[in-house]
Amino acid sequence: MRIAYLHSGSIPSVYANGVHVMRMCDAFTDAGHEVVLHALPGTTPADDIHAYYGTRNRFEVRPHGQPAVPGAGKWIRARQIRADLRRRGVPDLLYGRDPFALLACSGLAPLVYETHLLWPSRSIRAVERSLFRRPNLRRVVCVSQALADDYRAAFPELTALNTVDLVAAHDCADPVPLDGPVAPLPGREQALRIGYVGHLYPGRGTDVILGLAEQLPDADFHLVGGTTADRTHWQSRCRQPHVYFHGHRPPAELAPFYRAFDIVLAPYQRRAYCAGGVGEISRWVSPMKLFEYMAYGKAVIASDLPVLREVLTDGVNCLLRPPGSVADWAQAVTQLAEDTALRTALGNEARRQLTERYTWRARADRVLSAVPAAAGPESR
């Protein structure tokens, strides 16, 4: 099947949505589909987009528009994408996270809309509502069951329409070899290495990690990721010499860091935000870093949030602790530091569940299951 993936973000970029989209296009290609990704031009230098993201397949990536497109510019870009699709040959399926482009192109082929938050913007919700009325819409994919439930409540028409499936599909990771290069981390040779990979936006728990460092001087803490501005903000507030900020690294370069960590942290707070503060997502979040931790068989300490319990079980594949309690997180780190058998058991079970349930290929098959290819356009 020929799939056009319509993405509203930049490729390449430092943001997680780019990683997600590239992983999904890679998985669709693995499944035998011909994929073309339509995205905004990149905001991060990269000589080779596929090498930057570490994809297995070299599917086509076509840039449209300019980064940070405002209001009316989204519709101009959407029409450019529609013209490009008609000029190059209409695909069998439109898939994506860009409601503007999907709506503009909706008459060309069946479509699947994926969403990762319930948008606070009334204008975007109006676009979604129009999209949900389109006869070619086949499925809405939500990144968590909590988000699917909230979409049903916010858009009753989705339940009323028998032709539209609403599917919950968590984020994922690819199975990885455990042996391989290990990052030569700075710090003390015998110290426990506590790792965090991800952005440093408000609500991601960076303050909890710095609080842990104050309480646990015998462990070294390594934070990988974050924009230059966010990293500078937190480094200026860090007083502990055993905390190391490694900055943003291309997704393809993260494996040695994961292998180097003894324990990994996912300290999402009760209020967490996307880049630029667009959208509060703690109720629906499905963090990719969590699944990457699981893929490497690492012992995870994560925030005890209802949405994370869709994947995590305390004492089985992780330890769950109250989001804002540094004392409880310090107790969990100490427990894992002293009990290497528990550390190994949690990591092994997490890796087993990842391999069985949460691979990108399994997700690609799930979101496309029973979605028909184009049976004739509504209008060209």
Per-residue model confidence (pLDDT) at position 159: 82
Q: Which CB contacts under 8 angstroms, 24+ apart, belong to 366-372?
A: 366/167, 366/169, 367/95, 367/112, 367/114, 367/139, 367/141, 367/167, 367/169, 368/1, 368/28, 368/31, 368/33, 368/93, 368/112, 371/93, 371/110, 371/112, 371/138, 371/139, 372/110, 372/138
Rounded mean pLDDT, 217-238: 96
Is 93 within 8 Å of 3 (Cβ atoms)? yes
pLDDT the model gives residue 157: 87
Residue 376: predicted pLDDT: 39
Alpha-carbon span 184 to 193, nearest angstrom: 12
Cβ of 342: how many Cβ atoms within 10 Å? 14
Mean pLDDT of the chain: 93
Q: What is the pLDDT of residues 235-285, one digit of tens each?
A: 999 999 999 999 999 999 999 999 999 999 999 998 766 655 556 778 898
> Tokens at residue 48, please?
């080779």
User: Per-residue pLDDT for 200 more than 60?
Assistant: yes
**What pLDDT sits at residue 379?**
37
318-325 mean pLDDT:
96
Contact criterion met (CB below 8 Å) for 294 and 351: yes
In the predicted structure, residue 109 carries a pLDDT above the cut 70: yes
Distance from CA of residue 125 to its chain's centroid? 21
Among 79-83, 164-168, 273-277, the minimum mean pLDDT is found in 273-277
Burial of 46 from C-beta contacts in 10 A (0-12 / 13-18 / 19+):
middle
Sort residue 247 into left (φ over 0), alpha (ψ -120 to 50) or beta.
left
Q: Identify the DSSP state of 324.
A: T
Percent of the chain predicted with pLDDT > 70? 93
Most trustworthy range by pLDDT among 115-124, 275-284, 350-359? 350-359
**Mean pLDDT value across residues 136-158:** 95
Supply the pLDDT for residue 72: 75
Taken in order of first residue, the domains within the chain and their CATH numbers are 2-172+360-368 (3.40.50.2000), 192-357 (3.40.50.2000)
Residue 202: the pLDDT is 83
**The two structure tokens encoding residue 260:** 């180097």
Residue 306 has pLDDT above 70, yes or no: yes
Average pLDDT over residues 311-333: 97
- The torsion of the CA quartet 300, 305, 308, 311, rounded to 10 degrees, works out to 80
Tell me whether the omega of the peptide bond preceding residue 12 falls within 30 degrees of 0, making it cis. yes
Least confident span in 118-127, 210-219, 355-364: 118-127
Q: Does the pLDDT of residue 313 top 90, yes or no? A: yes
Contact (CB, 8 A) for 41 and 9 = no
The reported pLDDT for the residue numbered 69 is: 58
pLDDT at 273: 62
